[in-house]
Amino acid sequence: MTNLHQIKEEICDIGRRIYNRGFAAANDGNISFRIDENRIVCTPTGISKGFMKPDDLCVVDMNANQISGHRKMTSEIRQHITIMKHRNDVKSVVHCHPPHATAFGIAREAIPQCILPEVDINMGDVPIAKYIIPGGQAFADAILPFVDKSDIIVQANHGTVSMGPTIERAYFLTEMLDAYCRILLIARSLGKVEYFTKNEAEDLLALKQKWGFKDPRTELANCELCANDIFRDSWKETGVDHRAFQPPTFRRGEESPNNSAQCTSKNSNDIDQELIIKTITDRVMQALGKVG
């Protein structure tokens, strides 16, 4: 039997950790836990997640009706309920604004894979959902295309939403993703990001399967291991692409040229060639203008 007071204490503890790490400024963020088939404990609106007390929390039903609590429930609880209705294994949802992960959502930059083993094993491909004004059912439904294939989702121009069987697990995914995004930005500032080789990527995917972690890449025959293929069909609507991080483009079971996995991205080459041609053309036209 679920101890309601203990769950409320844990939510408050996670709220403090979120606040202290700078993942939620002022009153940002919300946390929930499903205590039974029809009841969810959630954080209220208009309160700092770093200073909550158990008595501040609300209890709502699966139709977003508040059952108890002297503070008003968060309007974003509909998103938590939507996730829980589609994922029976999810008991907790954490939403906040971790700055480095949120930056990828603002820039619409696909979060690269095949760089850190812990990230590939625990998260895999992380989608970016389209921007919808927060609070309504449309906002809640925006994450539906991704909830069956990922436990953490970046929301364009908003933040992240993570889910799991426990409050701590849901929170850990947020912390892990933000740390990873921060590492990516630091590495890129040094001038270069090295990806796994093809063999390393395939070995890690096999290890992930052996340990019982699901990965959608194993279900796709022509999946490019490191190119964020899983959610690419959603990119056009959201404006997501590889701009800052260009991954290698090798497929599962495909021989890499000269056994080298560091394949050159066609997109990167095309952009570079177009830029060179445009630069040369502009200079030639400028020179001809001066001669004339």
Range of the domain at 232: 198-265
Put the strands of the sheet holding 128-129 in their side by side order: 66-68, 58-61, 39-42, 30-34, 92-96, 159-164, 152-155, 128-129
Tell me the C-alpha distance between 58 and 194, whole Å.
Answer: 46
Look up the CATH number of the domain holding residue 112. 3.40.225.10
Q: Are residues 172 and 225 in the same domain?
A: no
Residue 159's pLDDT is what? Answer: 97
Tell me the C-alpha distance between 177 and 173, whole Å.
Answer: 6
CA distances (Å), origin 99, targets 18, 38, 86, 106? 12, 33, 28, 10
**Distance between the two ends of the chain, CA-based, in angstroms?**
88
Q: Are residues 209 and 273 in the same domain?
A: no
Q: Are residues 110 and 159 in the same domain?
A: yes
Instruction: Spell out the per-residue pLDDT of the chain, length 292, in tens.
Output: 579 999 999 999 999 999 999 999 999 999 999 999 999 999 999 999 999 999 999 999 999 999 999 999 999 999 999 999 999 999 999 999 999 999 999 999 999 999 999 999 999 999 999 999 998 999 999 999 999 999 999 999 999 999 999 999 999 999 999 999 999 999 999 998 999 999 999 999 999 989 988 888 887 777 888 999 899 999 999 999 999 999 988 776 665 443 333 333 334 444 445 555 556 666 666 666 655 5
Q: 253-259 long-range contacts, Cβ below 8 Å, gap at least 24?
A: 254/198, 256/197, 256/198
Q: Are residues 9 and 129 in the same domain?
A: yes
Per the structure block, which two tokens stand in for 128?
Answer: 């970016």
Tell me the C-alpha distance between 222 and 202, whole Å.
Answer: 14
Tell me the C-alpha distance between 189 and 79, whole Å.
Answer: 35
Q: Are residues 157 and 180 in the same domain?
A: yes
Q: Last residue of some domain: 157, 189, 221?
A: 189
Residue 252's pLDDT is what? Answer: 67
Residue 196's pLDDT is what? Answer: 95
Neighbouring-strand partners of residue 182: none
Q: Are residues 125 and 244 in the same domain?
A: no
Residue 43 has phi, psi (to 5 degrees) of -75, 150
Q: Are residues 146 and 13 in the same domain?
A: yes
Type of residue at 74: T
Angle in degrees, 0-180, between the axes of helices 99-107 and 167-189, rounded to the nearest 10:
70
Q: Last residue of some domain: 134, 154, 189?
A: 189
Q: Are residues 223 and 259 in the same domain?
A: yes
Q: Are residues 204 and 290 in the same domain?
A: no
Structural contact between residues 115 and 196, judged by C-beta atoms closer than 8 angstroms: yes
Q: What angle do CA 223, 95, 22 make, to 5 degrees?
A: 105
In the chain, the number of structural domains is 3
pTM of this prediction?
Answer: 0.84
Q: Are residues 172 and 285 in the same domain?
A: no
Tell me the C-alpha distance between 127 and 150, whole Å.
Answer: 8
Q: Are residues 72 and 212 in the same domain?
A: no
Q: Are residues 260 and 278 in the same domain?
A: no
